Structure 1
Amino acid sequence: MTSGPDSQTALPHIAATVPARAGAGLKGEHAAEILEIRPEIGFFEVHAENYMGAGGVPHRQLEAIRRDYPLSLHGVGLSIGGEGPLDRDHLKRLKVLNTRYEPGLFSEHLAWSTHDTTYYNDLLPVPYTQATLQRVCDHIDEVQAVMGREMLLENPSTYVAFEQSTMSELEFLREITRRTGCGLLLDVNNVHVSCVNHQRSAEDYIDAFPMDAVGELHLGGHAPDTDDEGRPLLIDAHDREVDDVVWALYEQVVKRSGPLPTLIEWDNDVPAWSVLLAEAQAADGILHRVAGAELKRAV
């Protein structure tokens, strides 16, 4: 296999389809151990922006892992909700990665991170208005046309609400899927974070979520804090274990959706591989238990 940025995948690797099992985000500090022990896990997810160089150690490790595991490709830099046009060079690099590694899933965030020529190291929220809706749909249409595949759009974690919003987040997401045909990535921790921050019911949000459009689930840890008025404030920190409340919400989701590929996100203060694997195994346990219960009811 050639290792140039435009190379086609030529390895006799396993099927690209991501199974309805738990997976983990691939971190550079874990790659050597993963390649040595070949853990029993459903898939790995990579942040696209970490692999936009032409070669080097990260690509060699990812090529080796891709021989044994399906991949999910998760972008954080497209700025789908940004007011300006999409970065065509960035989108081209995403397409090259998609061709090279044939990920079973591809996702991006409902957020913006650019203004003019400035790039912010954050995923910022958007107002839920008709103008934003049209812009996001136009961007998703462009992404799916260039990539030649379905994109999953992730629900955000939010800390403020916009006065100019004219629809709810759920109405906004439903209309996006209707207009573009894209799927959704349901981040369960983001639901909990946003609902606590806005003093809403996470259970009600999940009950009303358009689950038939969901292709992947995310779980992660959050950091507790308080706002200026002393009310609970949660930060989507990805720096610790999944909270018990989020595990309970996840079980509620799986009872509605059935088993789906589920990623454990842990991007800051990354622990030993064994800790991350244990979180994935806990998610697998819920998937198997709920799926088993559903099968028994069907019989």
Structure 2
Amino acid sequence: MTDFTRTTQPGPDGRGRPPHAPAAAQHLVGTSFKHEHLADIFADGLKDGFFEVHAENYMGAGGPPHRLLAAIREHYPLSIHGVCMSIGGPGALDAAHLARFRDLVARYEPALVSEHLAWSSHGGQFFNDLLPLPYAKETLEHVCEHIEQVQNAIKRPILLENPSTYVAFASSTMSETDFIRSVVQRTGCGLLLDINNVFVSATNHGFSAAAYLDELPFDRVGEIHLAGHSEQRDDENELLLIDSHDRAISEPVWNLYRDVVSRTGPRPTLIEWDSNLPAWPVLRDQAMTVRQIIVEHETSLAEAPCHGG
């Protein structure tokens, strides 16, 4: 097992706090960082906020992207979110890519570092997709080995994001939640819980999002993602949801988030919005809805009757 395993610590409300998640960080609320929003962020930013960037957009040595990211970093914590490590792939990790990822983490010292439970490269070819993997013993070995390589390179645990999927492998021998629990236990990594991904996959595959959430290791959740999804129809005219990150969050996803917060307490929560970008006030309002839900949760705890002996 990796040297980065940490024992979950109790938070002030008695709930578990995941590794590398100080109590003060639990209330962070963030959004994806887009360069066109920089001036508006400085004019009307986020109290107790943070911003997330895709690692691959900042792997060059310098230039305008780094100047803008450095400006944000002076005022806000960062989350660095990898999308191309191909942690779920059967082949070896790309050494050059891992080195660039390591250097980026060292350069900006982000509050949070994450990657996807997916694969996106094979035989030297790279694909512009986060592709699903079969949940089986052999795949588990590859994923754990890759996560430990990443954690050893950056000298800290990562958060692993649950996927949104549109197909499932008949060769899988374990459930996705069993697979995730095994990875977390073996590697000491945390979980980036993407609630929209849960809702999208549950709708597409016909299972219960609530039941899926029941099977996750909530004590290892270090960050939560919320995003919008689009609706399509498949070849049989059945509803198909796409994790598109191009619109406001749906009410069913908000409801799942409320349930998660009631069970975990606050966790750093990010609004993902990557295309069809709205004006900054729209994105900020989505983040403020997160803040409102957290405040409502904490108010309900404070008002709950005490039944001490």
Q: Which residue of 1 aligns with 2:59?
A: 52
Shift of 1:298: 7.3
C-alpha RMSD over aligned residues: 1.4
Task: Give the structure 1 partner of residue 17 of structure 2.
Answer: none
TM-score (norm 1): 0.92
Match 1:131 to one of 129, 133, 138: 138
Deviation at 1:168, TM superposition (A): 0.2
Alpha-carbon offset, residue 271 of structure 1: 1.0
**Alpha-carbon shift at residue 198 of structure 1 (Å):** 0.5
Q: Which residue of 1 aligns with 2:11?
A: none
Match of 2:108 among 96, 101, 107: 101
Question: What's 1:211 paired with?
Answer: 218
Equivalent runs, 1:170-181 vs 2, <5 Å:
170-181=177-188
Tell me the residue number matched to 1:34.
Answer: 41
- For the 8 Å contact 1:18–1:70, the answer to whether it is kept is no
Q: Show the counterpart of 1:280.
A: 287
TM normalised by structure 2 equals 0.89
Equivalence for 1:88? 95
> 1:194 is matched with which residue?
201
**Contact 2:225-2:271 at 8 Å conserved across structures:** yes
**Whole-Å Cα distance in 2 between the matches of residues 277 and 219 of structure 1?**
13
Deviation at 1:18, TM superposition (A): 3.9
Structure 2 Cα separation of the partners of residues 98 and 196 of structure 1: 35
- Counterpart contact for 2:27–2:48, Cα < 8 Å: no
CA contact (8 A) 2:234 2:240 kept: yes
Rounded Cα–Cα distance in structure 1 between residues aligned with 2:200 and 2:73: 33
Query: Deviation string for 1:169-194 (max 9, x for gaps)?
Result: 00000000111010000000000000
Q: CA deviation at 1:41?
A: 4.9
Deviations 1:60-84 (A, max 9, x none): 1111111111111100010000111
Cα distance, 1:19 vs structure 2? 4.2
Give the counterpart of 1:67 among 46, 71, 74.
Answer: 74
The reply to whether residue 296 of structure 1 matches residue 303 of structure 2 is yes
The residue type paired with residue 115 of structure 1 is H
Cα distance in 1 for residues equivalent to 2:138 and 2:274 = 33
Question: Cα deviations across residues 32-80 of structure 1 (Å, max 9, x unaligned)?
Answer: 3223444435111111111111111111111111111111110001000
How far does residue 95 in structure 1 lie from its aligned partner after superposition? 1.1
Residues of 2 paired with 1:70 and 1:271: CA distance? 22
Partner of 2:155: 148
Cα distance in structure 1, aligned partners of 2:305 and 2:27: 19
Question: 2:146 is aligned with what amino acid?
Answer: H
Q: 1:272 to 1:90 in 2, by over 3 A?
A: same
- Identity across the alignment (%): 55
Distance between the aligned counterparts of 1:44 and 1:295, measured in 2?
29
Partner amino acid, structure 2, of 1:198 = H
Question: 5+ residue gaps in structure 1?
Answer: 1-14
CA–CA distance in structure 1, aligned partners of residues 304 and 96 of structure 2? 50
> Are the aligned partners of 1:52 and 1:97 in contact in 2 as well (CA < 8 Å)?
yes
Kindly indicate whether the alpha-carbon contact (under 8 Å) linking 2:88 and 2:117 is maintained by their aligned counterparts in 1.
yes
201-210 or 246-255, larger mean C-alpha shift: 201-210
Query: Equivalent residue of 1:90, what SS?
Result: helix
In structure 2, the residue corresponding to 1:43 is in which secondary structure?
strand
Number of equivalences: 284
**Range 233-242 or range 221-230, more displaced:** 221-230
Q: Deviations over 1:160-219 (max 9, x none)?
A: 111000000000000001110100000000000000001011111112221011100000
Structure ranking higher on relative contact order (CA contacts 8 Å, 6+ apart):
2
Secondary structure at the counterpart of residue 91 of structure 2: coil
**1:129-169: per-residue Cα shift (whole Å, max 9, x none)?**
10000000000010000110010000000011110000000
Does the C-alpha gap of structure 1 residues 251 and 37 become closer, same or farther in structure 2, counting only changes over 3 Å? closer
Unaligned runs of 5+ in 2: 1-21
Q: Deviations over 1:242-263 (max 9, x none)?
A: 0000000000111111100000
